[in-house]
Amino acid sequence: MELWAQVTVGAIALVLALVLPFFVRPILARAGVLDVPNARSSHTEPTIRGMGITTAVALPAAVIVAVFLPQSANALQGSLTLAVILAVVLGAAAIGWVEDIRGLSVKVRAGLQLALGGVATAVVAILDPGQQQLWLIPAGAVAVAAYVNVTNFMDGINGISGTHGLLVGGFYAYAGYMTGHGWMVYAGIAIAMAFAGFLPWNLSRNKVFLGDVGSYLLGASIAVTAMCAFLAGVSVEYIFSPVLIYLIDTFVTFLRRLLAGERWYVAHRQHVYQRLTIVGLSHVQATGVVCAATILVSVLGVVAARGGEVAQILATAAGFAVVLAYLRTPTLFQMMLRHTASRKDGGHGS
């Protein structure tokens, strides 16, 4: 019975995400909701943005259904947790939609994101008598706001956000299954299928972008699920490994710009995934590199969570090796592409 419930949640998210753009795209086009290329952009032509509004319908709709479906244990607690996730997802999407349409100042945007995370953490902590610790509230507020901005920064090439939602949602669903948290299975499935449904539209010839409404939705849905999982006692390896590549890419780029004396908040193209496109990879190829690294560290996180002490140490070391290799990929691919080009030039010369 529960398997069919999970399939139902996934089907709702996927079908709505696939079908709604047929109706929404013409409306956004007529309204002139366009993403105009700037210094940070990896595209060269104005493109319809704000298509994340369809994902912002698909994902919450699936979560609403999940609230009333059976779970493996503690159904009431799970339903309340899903309700908190639903509220945060809707709130983040609303903030992103206003940002897409009218724009918000940095202070207002940051304040709303922090408030959203703080209130959500407080509610979850209140629901769990074992989590009455005040430090959790500011920590949760910062975590949610930070990851919303991380996904916004990383949403710069075709396919990257959709695949991130698919992969992280999938691994979170697996983590929920392995730890007996039915609500986490439902949340992960809803995230994965909602963003999987966006991918064909983002990668098609007449591509569209998520916009802030979609990237905020992505970051908030992952962050609040991770926060609830942490408070529920889910192993940190399950929680952090799927998001590690995104976090490291953003942190290292921020640190590099800060040390160089650059204004970190100004648009740029210095993220690892952006540099991959600069050296010659296509959007899909660069997205593939990010996905491969995410899958590797996520699998290693699972090994660390389920294995003994030795397995945990080895898996953690291997995960750090993957992260370091990812940070070096722009240089490695640049060398490979130059070598290939020189061989071709040499062949033509002979």
**Distance linking the first and last C-alpha atoms of the chain:** 68
**285, amino acid identity:** Q
Say what the pLDDT of residue 279 is.
Answer: 93
Rg (CA), the chain: 20
289-311 in b/e form (b: 16+ CB < 10 A) is bbbebbbbbbbbbbbbbeeeeee
The alpha carbon dihedral of 112, 61, 160, 288 has a sign of positive
Say what the pLDDT of residue 1 is.
Answer: 58
Do the domain assignments include residue 86?
yes
Tokens describing residue 251: 């942190």
Same domain membership, residue 51 and residue 87: yes
Same domain membership, residue 177 and residue 274: no
Same domain membership, residue 275 and residue 221: no
For 191, the enclosing helix (H) or strand (E) is helix 182-203
Distance CA 206, CA 71 (A): 40
**Which range marks the domain in which residue 271 is found?**
261-350
Give the pLDDT confidence of 308-339 residue by residue, as tens digits.
899 999 999 999 999 999 999 999 999 888 87
Same domain membership, residue 345 and residue 221: no
Do the domain assignments include residue 247?
no
Say what the pLDDT of residue 36 is.
Answer: 65
Same domain membership, residue 12 and residue 150: yes
Same domain membership, residue 327 and residue 281: yes
Q: How many domains is the chain built from?
A: 2
- State the number of CA atoms in the 13 A half-sphere of 127 facing the CB: 19
Same domain membership, residue 299 and residue 169: no
Give phi and psi for 243, each to the nearest 5.
-105, 5
Same domain membership, residue 217 and residue 298: no
Do the domain assignments include residue 251?
no
Do the domain assignments include residue 8?
yes
Q: How many residues does the chain have?
A: 350
For 273, the enclosing helix (H) or strand (E) is helix 272-278
Neighbours of 34 (CB within 10 A): 16
Say what the pLDDT of residue 193 is.
Answer: 98
Distance CA 307, CA 207 (A): 43
Same domain membership, residue 283 and residue 207: no
Among 350, 300, 341, 344, smallest CA distance to 323 is for 300
Same domain membership, residue 156 and residue 11: yes
Do the domain assignments include residue 17?
yes
- State the number of CA atoms in the 13 A half-sphere of 309 facing the CB: 0
Do the domain assignments include residue 205?
yes
Do the domain assignments include residue 90?
yes
Please list the pLDDT of the chain residue by residue as tens digits (350 residues). 588 999 999 999 999 999 999 999 999 888 877 766 655 555 556 778 889 999 999 999 999 999 988 776 677 788 999 999 999 999 999 999 999 888 899 899 999 999 999 999 999 888 776 666 778 889 999 999 999 999 999 998 999 999 999 999 999 999 999 999 999 999 999 999 999 999 999 998 878 889 999 999 999 999 999 999 999 999 999 999 999 999 999 999 999 988 888 876 667 788 999 999 999 999 999 999 999 999 999 999 999 999 889 999 999 999 999 999 999 999 999 988 887 777 776 655 54
DSSP 157: S
Q: What angle is formed at CA 274 by the lines to CA 55 and CA 225, rounded to 5 degrees?
A: 35
Do the domain assignments include residue 239?
no
Final residue of a structural domain among 196, 215, 234: 234
